[in-house]
Amino acid sequence: MLQALQSNWLLAGGAALVLLLGLFHALTADPLFRRDARGAIRLVILGAALRGLQLALGSNIQGAWAKALEVGWMIVLSFGVIRSVVSLALKLVRSRERPAPKILRDVVDATLYVLAALVIVKHEFNLDLSSLVAGSAIASVVLGLALQDTLGNLFAGLSLQLERPFEVGDSVAVGTESGRVLQLGWRATRLETKRREVITLPNNQLAKQTVKNFSRGNEPVGVDVFISVSYEAPPNRVKQVVADTLGEVPLILASPSYRTRTWAYEDTSIKYRIRFYVADYSRANRVRDEVLTRLWYRLRREDIEIPAAPRTMHLLRPPKSAGLPLDARRSLLGLVDIFRVLRDEEREHLANAMVQRFFGAGERILEEGAAGQTFYVVASGTVAVTTRKGVEVTRLSRGQYFGEMSLLTGEPRSATVVAVEDSVLFELDRAGVGELFVGHPGLATQLSTLLAERRLQLQAVANANVPPSDHPEANRILARLRQIFGLS
Ligand code: CMP
């Protein structure tokens, strides 16, 4: 075989191999194969060049230099051939989605390189390798013992790569560590945690531990969150409130659907397990945060208590309308244009009647099309009025109000209102507004005009039209409002 290796047609064979690899390189998108092919092409060209040099120099080069050149081109060319054949073979055996693991390529390449180098050296220098092998037996044992850990890691790494419990880029948890797989190496696997630390886990330790992989090829991943709420709240109501809240969190998947389970009766509260699914586990903590944050606001608005530690259990809860002192609430009402006509005692009465509501950033306060009989004044924060398609009509902040359309006309909500930032609102119901009309009949006309203006602006945004200048809509609204509140 070596005779054949030395003959000139090897140059032609090398050229054919380079062409073949170049063709595969151009046809495939697999980056690992392309890198291997480039390496192999370089080795084959270098080997052929050395062989060409040897032929060109002929008998001009003698002794050790001639030998070195001969051994050199043989080794380089055989390495090139080995690398080409191994990468082509692995490419054919493994599918495109699952390219051959790098460690496997490296181990096969290295073994064949050593064998080829031994055969060439044995032939060129007429060495008896069996005596070399026998002589090195003791050294091998010593070396083997010294390399025990390294070899253990290597084989563990190899089995991990063949078995593939995870891939580079997957989110995994191993023991107490969790993060995204950065690199699968010969000796160790590297994870990057959320804190941006890089953790190096020796492969043999990894192979012995339970590995949780949260990235099963873009499959949804479940996340569990536990909450404890008061015994006063009926479980089915709690489940409904949780379901409504989860439905509004954008990163939670609709399918598989989220669900809440009554989990345990604890000393001071009932524990619920909430399970929902996300597409990308690396965002699980963000979603968990959003769920717990939104639930705080929502449960509070629904008067469902999240009991604090037992030692604070018997503290009296302040009345619902408290939060802002009465003076502050009165001066807030002073900012609201439609309430400027109120007398002091009326304003005070209204300040006491309003109920304080908290909304977290991103929470939906009103939904277009829903029924509604509540009216809100913004005490702090900002809310956005949007159309069903999510086009923003306007933003309202301190002293401005919304929700009056449905409350006054009995029609479904005309727009969706979302908290842009954490907002405190004061809520008034139909009875509260009805009382105001009794003392101030002019309010009805004022509100009808305002309603008509708002509605036309809303329609203009929805239809992307310029609003017309007169408001025939105002008369229609006024008639309806008079009918509902029995005004003359
Ligand atoms: P309602 O229809 O009860 O619920 C949605 C609310 O959005 C609506 O009452 C108004 O208060 C408010 N809204 C609708 N259109 C506008 C607008 N153009 N400007 C300000 N607020 C609006």
As a whole number, mean pLDDT of residues 71-96 equals 82
Q: Please, which pLDDT band fits residue 369 given cuts at 50, 70 and 90?
A: very high
Tell me, what's the pLDDT at 226? 97
pLDDT in tens, 396-448: 999 999 999 998 888 999 999 999 998 999 999 888 888 888 888 888 888 88
The reply to whether ligand 1 has any atom less than 6 angstroms from the CB of 378 is: no
Q: What is the CATH number of the domain that holds 208?
A: 2.30.30.60
Tell me, what's the pLDDT at 95? 55
Range of 256's domain? 220-301
Question: Cα separation of 191 and 169, whole Å?
Answer: 9
CA of 300 to the centre of ligand 1 (A): 24
Let me know if residue 312 belongs to a domain: no
Is the same domain home to 423 and 473?
yes
Which of 268, 301, 334 corresponds to the end of one domain?
301
Question: Cα separation of 240 and 77, whole Å?
Answer: 72
pLDDT in tens, 314-362: 555 544 444 677 888 888 888 998 888 888 888 888 888 888 898 988 8
As a whole number, mean pLDDT of residues 463-470 equals 54
As a whole number, mean pLDDT of residues 265-274 equals 94
Higher pLDDT, 199 or 342: 199
Instruction: Name the residue with the closest Cα to ligand 1, atom 18.
Output: 454
CA of 415 to the centre of ligand 1 (A): 6
The reply to whether ligand 1 has any atom less than 6 angstroms from the CB of 457 is: yes
Cβ partners under 8 Å of residue 25, min gap 6: 33, 34, 37, 38, 41
Q: Which atom of ligand 1 is nearest to the CA of 461?
A: 18
Is the same domain home to 204 and 230?
no
Tell me, what's the pLDDT at 322? 44
Is the same domain home to 62 and 123?
yes
Angle at the Cα of 335 from the Cα atoms of 330 and 340, rounded to 5 degrees: 85
Is the same domain home to 212 and 227?
no
CA dihedral 258, 264, 266, 270 (to 10 degrees): 40
Domain total for the chain? 4
- Examine the pLDDT at 223 and tell me if it is beyond 80: yes
Instruction: Name the residue with the closest Cα to ligand 1, atom 6.
Output: 403
Is the same domain home to 284 and 420?
no
Provide the token pair at 85. 């054949």
Q: Which atom of ligand 1 is nearest to the CA of 385?
A: 7
The reply to whether ligand 1 has any atom less than 6 angstroms from the CB of 377 is: no
Is the same domain home to 393 and 376?
yes
* Of residues 219, 227, 292, 289, the one with CA closest to residue 263: 227
What is this structure's pTM?
A: 0.59
CA of 457 to the centre of ligand 1 (A): 10
- Examine the pLDDT at 227 and tell me if it is beyond 60: yes
- In this prediction, what percent of the chain has a pLDDT beyond 90? 30
Is the same domain home to 208 and 94?
no
Let me know if residue 133 belongs to a domain: no
CA of 385 to the centre of ligand 1 (A): 7
Let me know if residue 144 belongs to a domain: no
Is the same domain home to 446 and 349?
yes
Tell me, what's the pLDDT at 136? 65
Is the same domain home to 198 and 248?
no
As a whole number, mean pLDDT of residues 12-37 equals 81
CA of 366 to the centre of ligand 1 (A): 10
pLDDT in tens, 31-59: 777 888 888 889 888 988 888 888 888 77
Is the same domain home to 120 and 179?
no
- Examine the pLDDT at 94 and tell me if it is beyond 80: no
- Examine the pLDDT at 75 and tell me if it is beyond 80: yes
Is the same domain home to 358 and 291?
no
Is the same domain home to 282 and 229?
yes
- Examine the pLDDT at 99 and tell me if it is beyond 70: no
- In this prediction, what percent of the chain has a pLDDT beyond 70? 89
Q: What is the CATH number of the domain that holds 440?
A: 2.60.120.10
Q: What is the CATH number of the domain that holds 251?
A: 3.30.70.100
Which of 301, 335, 361 corresponds to the end of one domain?
301
Which of 99, 127, 155 corresponds to the end of one domain?
127
Let me know if residue 400 belongs to a domain: yes
